[in-house]
Structure 1
Amino acid sequence: MRNEERRERLKAALLDAAERTIAESGLPALKARDLAKDVGCALGAIYTVFPDLDALILAVNLRTLALFDRAITAVRIAPEPEGAATPAERDAAVETLVRLAVAYLHFAAANPARWRALFQHRVTHALPDWYLVEQVRLFRYIEAPLRVLRPDLGERERALLARSLFSATHGLVSLGLDEKLMVLSEPVLRGQIEIVVGALGRGLAEG
């Protein structure tokens, strides 16, 4: 087997093992020495395929973002109108925002350790471009209904508003699922998200 093939196999094995550890036990459980033992390689071999543990964690998080992407593409998205939006089309855009927020809740509740790892990991250097591109792409799902609700906003303003709406939803989900603070049942939390995100969406539609 050629060296490049061995490197690719080792990289895939390390990525699978790290993903499994994070999904089952959370990010704090991920240790380089345990990973090496799990895949049967020397500790130093990890750094022949990943520059550091940060890069490996980002690669796992990218898989998590892809999993989330598949979850939200299943959400029924209201089509954008060709001209000025009617009241019914604005209502549909609000419902899209609510459905996206609920999908986020379901994903977090179904994949708690993987979801937390997205936010627990603090890199010691700038995020790579490929990771930032994926993050931006996911925000496009929120920006689409915002174009219906606030056609007056420029692209930059709309992108910032999408991040603000995500932050509001993420805050509700984080607090609601945090066992140390105020854990809520998923149906109760869903109801609160529908109320809050729905109110925000209707306020944007009226603004």
Structure 2
Amino acid sequence: MARRSDHSREELQRLIVLEGHKHMAEVGFARFSAREVAKRIGYSVGTIYNVFGNYDRLILAINTRTFALWAAFLRDRLDDIAGDRIRALVEGYFNYAASNANLWMAIYDHRLPPDEPMPVADGEQRAELTEIVVSEIARVLPATCRDQAPRLARSLIATVHGHCAFALNGSFALMGEQEPVAIALDRVREALGITNPGPTSLQQDPTSS
């Protein structure tokens, strides 16, 4: 079993976030346990709070790692796309959420206390995901209105997120909707004025099985 002297503070921070991320993926936010993470890495729970300050900062760090992996996932997906990049972006949003449901939902289940601001480094890391969307939206907008891309991106992220959440929590299934990815993509295309995206075909809905 590891002892405190075995790792520097920076090494401990990385170790805790990595193991905490694995634990969150397994059990979700409601069943997440800092004590379980401490047990897995061979340290006391007091060590975890000494490194991160409190429980909220620990969850924040774990969720920020999810954002980083999500952004990397979308970049890799877009790197392989020569055609309909908006389709790839929407599908990628759904695919990552469906494949990492506990991690994805933990981002939105956790809230920092009102008097605790988001650390700058975490905010910058999380903003990378939005920047990917802004960049892709700007690509399809006329040059005269590309300055509207950031505002439009935020709105479309909310639209796709809502569809994704309804798909994962079963709400769409209760309403009889079988193609949540397709209808989310339709709403995005409508907002962007895309009427002829090309001959590519929609991938199988990742939320259906």
Q: Partner amino acid for 2:12?
A: L
Aligned mates of 1:35, 1:76 — CA distance in 2: 34
Q: Which residue pairs with 1:87 in the alignment?
A: none
Q: Which residue of 1 aligns with 2:141?
A: 149
List gaps (5 residues or longer) in structure 1: 80-91
- State the SS of the aligned residue for 2:172: coil
Partner of 2:201: none
Return the match for 2:13 from 3, 11, 14: 11
Give the match's secondary structure for 1:182.
helix
Map of 1:46 onto structure 2: 48
How far is 1:108 from its partner? 0.6
**Gap change, CA 1:96 and 1:70, over 3 Å in 2:** same
Q: 1:175 aligns with which of 166, 185, 191?
A: 166
* Partner in structure 2 of residue 162 of structure 1: 153
The match for 1:96 among 85, 100, 108 is 85
Residue 95 of structure 2 is aligned to residue 106 of structure 1: yes
- Is this contact kept in 1: 2:64–2:126, CA < 8 A? no
Asked whether the 8 Å contact 2:71–2:128 carries over to 1, the reply is: no
Deviation of 1:106 after TM superposition, in Å, equals 0.6
For residue 83 of structure 1, what is the aligned residue in structure 2? none
How many residues align? The count is 189
* Alignment TM-score, normalising by the size of structure 1: 0.77
Q: Distance in 1 between matches of 2:11 and 2:177?
A: 39
- More helix per residue: 1
Residue number in structure 2 paired with 1:120: 109
Q: Gaps (5+ residues) in structure 2? A: 197-209
Structure 1 residue 72: Cα displacement: 0.8
Asked if the contact 2:4–2:43 (Cα under 8 Å) also holds between the matched residues in 1, the reply is no
Q: TM-score, normalised by structure 2?
A: 0.77
Q: How far did 1:186 drift?
A: 10
Segment of structure 1 superposing worse, 169-178 or 37-46? 37-46
Alpha-carbon RMSD across the aligned residues, in angstroms, is 3.0
Residue identity opposite 2:149 in structure 1: R
Cα pair distance change 1:135/1:14, threshold 3 Å: closer
State the alpha-carbon separation in 2 of the partners of residues 141 and 204 from structure 1.
22
